[in-house]
Each structure stands twice: as C-alpha cells, then as structure tokens.
Structure 1
C-alpha cells in the first residue's frame, strides 16, 4: 500500500507549506515531543525544556500499518489527541537551520499528512513558548479511540512493522518518560497489562 492510498492521507507538501507560513521563519523554531520525539528526536536542537501542553493528551490510539504494524495486522503508536494535558519536552532549533530541520522532521512525521500540525503554547520552567506539535483528530481514520484491554493484548503480542513492534515502542516510551521524571498513568497501566500477560518483564 502506498502512502497516497492510506486512509486519511493528505498532501504533505501543502501541509508543510502551510506550517512554514504559520511559523513565518522569524526566530528559532520550537517543537513539542511527547513520545518517540523524546527518545529519538533525529533533529538538531540547541535547547530542551520540560514542557506541558493543555487541551491535548498522549494516548496509544493511532493505528500504525507501516512503522509498528502491517495492513493485515495493524499496530498502535502514541498520538496527541484532544482533551486533558500532556507533559513532554520542548526543543528549540536555531533559526539558521530550522527550515532544513523542519523539512527533515516533516518527512519523518508527515509522509501521509495524517497528523494535524498545530502550534501549541507550551508551559516551561522559563515561560511559555509556541511549539509545533503533531496532533491527531478524533475524526481521523487513523484514530482508534479507546482500545479494549483484550484487543490491546493481542496487538502487543503480535503487531510489528518497519521499526519494530508496538510492544517495544510502548516500553521504550515508558522507560524514556520515567527517565525524564514524567509519570503517565495510562502508559503505566498498559505496561502492567503487558506484564500480567507475560509480554513484558
């Protein structure tokens, strides 16, 4: 299945142009990370801060047919979905390289244009910063909604894709968040669910 054939796919180039217009290219660029962008950012930054956004929360509710699953056996990845709040990291990219780093980040996060890229106010210990965040609409075909425990166990047991399994992705995110002093109760609940079914140590 090509990216263009994926449900909910939109033109990533048009969305990148829109994001660039919103940013304006004036000053440094901030990016908000809430899952793999914390433990595998893959872009150059000169500063990172603990950050909290309000109005969105981290949830293992995004279907993955390539990276952590397959079309036949989809996996799950974390998404920033409406409601609540989310603790994560805000990264500052210097203006001189920001445009190139944004394009690199876009290729990673938006190959199908599935996310809604938004500029969210991040509260940090040094004040608020507007940061680019990749959010997911509840109306997106990639949004699963709350996954029942029985189905979650089956996904954690079997789903694997280009970058590895959904289970490994969950555990890597949980470990990384703990190392940054971030306790996500829902993640810890899913990790405990995996342990009860002998899927995790």
Structure 2
C-alpha cells in the first residue's frame, strides 16, 4: 500500500519513527509524542551503503520485525495540512529510495496519556531489500557498526544516538538488543583506539 492511499481525505497524519527519525526527522510537523507500537521488535538487520556505510563496508541500521509479543518505542510525529504531502515526499526519498521498503499503518500508543491509540504510518525495510543483512550476533553487529561510516557520518553515531534516546525518553524500557550491541561497539572502538 502506498502512503498516499493511507491519507486520502485526511487533513492530518501520524508518522512513527523508530530509528534515526527519533532524533532527526528533517520534516516539519505539528507535534511529536514518545510512545510505542505493538507486534514489532526493532533489529539492526538492515544494511546501509550510503548514510552510515559504503558498498565495501555497509553499516547496520534498524528495521522492524514482526513479533506478536514485542513492542517498539519511538516517536510519532503529527503532520497536518501541507506538511502531510511534504513529509511523505521527503520520507519516500529518505526511506524508500533503495527499494525493499513497505509502509504500514500501525496503532501508536502515546506514553503517559492513557488514551486510545492513534493510527500511524511506519516505514519498514523488508528482506526483499538488496541491502537486508538479516540476523547476526550482538558481537558481529557491534563490530560491524564500530568500523563503518557513510556520507551522513559514523555508524557508531547512529547506534549511540538511538541508545541515548531510549535512556532519556524511555528510561524504564530495557532494549536488550540495542544495549548489548552498544556495549560491544564501544568495546571494539576502545580496543582499536588503544591499539593505535
């Protein structure tokens, strides 16, 4: 389903971010809210040969994997009026330019509001994407992230910013996958610096 099909006739839209969007949305929005979606887990299973890696050394960024027992915390952005079309046009380039992404509508549960969930649009990299790397151990993922960089910067920065978001905005949530990879990557970087 195309994003445009999801918003026909709507004057506003929520967009859920679970990776770099949580700290760098780069589109105008009316308001943002920390919260979570159910039925998905965040995993560093997607490759990036542009922003956080190269063709020779692809970095790793997050995507969502379906899991009935899981939930993923992030930020939803409400866009309205002309922001709807502008944000979708921007995200279609940022998120789907390399293909292998799908858009879905999910229920977003705002943190601390105790109200009803709101429908939100989310972009998910699938295994059909040529850059999809799939599962690996925290040691393998962390070591890969520690040494990769792309046009936007170091892959490690992406990892650390995501971990910082979780600690500051969702302090009671334990994201074992994220934090175990962070620990490995930091150990690798410390080892490499000591070896110089």
Same fold (TM over 0.5): yes
Which residue number corresponds to residue 186 of structure 1? Answer: 177
Specify the alignment match of 1:108 in structure 2: 94
Aligned partners of 2:142 and 2:182 also within 8 Å? no
Q: After superposition, give the CA deviation of every residue in 1:120-155 in whole Å (9 maximum; x if it has no partner).
A: 111222321111101122454332222234432431
Residues 199 and 64 (structure 1), Cα distance of their counterparts in 2 relative to 1, 3 Å cut = farther
CA distance in 1, matches of 2:129, 2:97: 15
Match of 1:177 in 2: 166
> Where in structure 2 are the equivalents of 1:1-201 lying within 5 Å?
18-83=2-67, 84-124=70-110, 125=113, 126-182=115-171, 183=173, 184-199=175-190
Q: Which runs of no fewer than 5 residues in structure 2 stay unpaired?
A: 192-196
How many residue pairs end up in the alignment?
185
Moved over 4 A (4+): none
So what's the TM-score if we normalise by structure 1? 0.82
Give the match's secondary structure for 1:197: helix
Asked whether the equivalents of residues 25 and 99 of structure 1 are also in contact (C-alpha less than 8 Å), the reply is no
Q: Measure, in 1, the Cα distance between the counterparts of 2:130 and 2:78.
A: 31
1-structure distance, mates of 2:9, 2:177: 37
Q: Is the 1:81–1:136 contact (alpha carbons within 8 Å) kept by the matching residues of 2?
A: no
Q: Which runs of 5+ in 1 are unaligned?
A: 1-14
SS in 1 for 2:132: coil
CA RMSD, 1 decimal: 2.2
Q: Secondary structure at the match of 2:64?
A: strand
